[in-house]
Amino acid sequence: MTTTIQDRQASVGTEQVWREIDKASFAVLSQVTPAGEPRSSGVLYKSIGRRLYVAVGADSWKARHISASHRVAVTVPVRRGGILSLLAPIPPATISFHGTALVHPADSPAAQTLTEELASLLPPERRASACIVEVIPEGAFLTYGLGVPLLKMRDPAAARAHAPVA
């Protein structure tokens, strides 16, 4: 019997991906500058109602670039390996997706409502001035290493999976 790449591919469902996103709090957020140059940075986020929220400075590159294009890509690393990761370098699993992002100014009703829910991400002195970036995932999640044994992560075809966002 012949094994195809699809037969070896990990099977990951939408609910499983959202559970992992909900448990995590760190992601790499990527955007494009108005000049078309790619930029990415690590951010702390909170998942609320199948959207991700990030607090950023009103004068930050992230706020300016995302306001201009409204397009982002996100990668959430998912820690793996438990106690074994203390002894050996174990790469995280990842969840990647693209989406639309909205920047809510600090004085907007949306930002003021969300600031309370995001209090753990914001020092008290920044709560009145931080913009809130709302990331709305689109299309499909691309996962790597999620729901597969550690040794299968060495086989890209077996470690990759797609799951619809909604």
The pLDDT tens digits along the chain (166 residues) read 444 444 456 688 999 999 999 999 999 999 999 899 999 999 999 999 999 999 999 999 999 999 999 999 999 999 887 777 777 777 899 999 999 999 999 899 988 888 888 888 888 888 888 899 999 999 999 999 998 888 888 899 999 999 999 8
- Give the Cα separation of 27 and 111 in Å (integer): 20
Q: What is the pLDDT of residue 112?
A: 83
Q: What is the radius of gyration, based on Cα positions, of the chain?
A: 18
* pTM to 2 decimal places: 0.88
Domain boundaries, the chain: 5-45+59-100+141-164
- What type of residue sits at position 82? G
**Cα 42 → chain centroid:** 10
Q: What is the pLDDT of residue 86?
A: 76
Q: Phi then psi for 117, rounded to 5 degrees?
A: -70, -25
- What type of residue sits at position 67? S
Q: What is the pLDDT of residue 3?
A: 46
Q: What is the pLDDT of residue 5?
A: 45
- Do the Cβ atoms of 11 and 162 come closer than 8 Å? no
Residues in Cβ contact with 5 at an 8 Å cutoff, skipping those fewer than 6 apart: 157
CATH code linked to domain 5-45+59-100+141-164 = 2.30.110
- Give the Cα separation of 99 and 18 in Å (integer): 15
